[in-house]
Amino acid sequence: DAGVIQSPRHEVTEMGQEVTLRCKPISGHDYLFWYRQTMMRGLELLIYFNNNVPIDDSGMPEDRFSAKMPNASFSTLKIQPSEPRDSAVYFCASTLGAGFTDTQYFGPGTRLTVL
């Protein structure tokens, strides 16, 4: 299997622009997670989906952030408008189930820089 795929790997944009990050989970995995990683706050869960349905979005920082999962093989995280404080590495992860022993597999991440 190719693993979790994310694009782009790097994104540099200017404040106020819209940014869309993309993720393809491992085939057959029912759960998809979006994380943000910064030096200050570490690895934070933003939102997760089960069978394409958002289950918990309590980690989404504000209304500028939105996430969708139109089908089992694709998800997007959108920031509109972007701000410099959104600069971070955004990871997508997927897992087969939601048991206590289910492993989350991370994608390579998207490094976002907002100028």
Size of the site for another protein (CB under 8 A): 21
Supply the minimum distance, in Å, between the C-beta of residue 43 and another protein.
4
Residues 6+ apart with CB under 8 A from 79: 18, 19, 64, 65, 86, 112
Would you count residue 18 as binding another protein (CB under 8 A)? no
Q: Which of 34, 48, 65, 90 binds another protein (CB under 8 A)?
A: 48
CA nearest neighbour of 47 among 38, 59, 30? 59
Q: Rule CB under 8 A: which residues touch another protein?
A: 31, 33, 42-45, 48, 55-56, 91, 98, 100-109
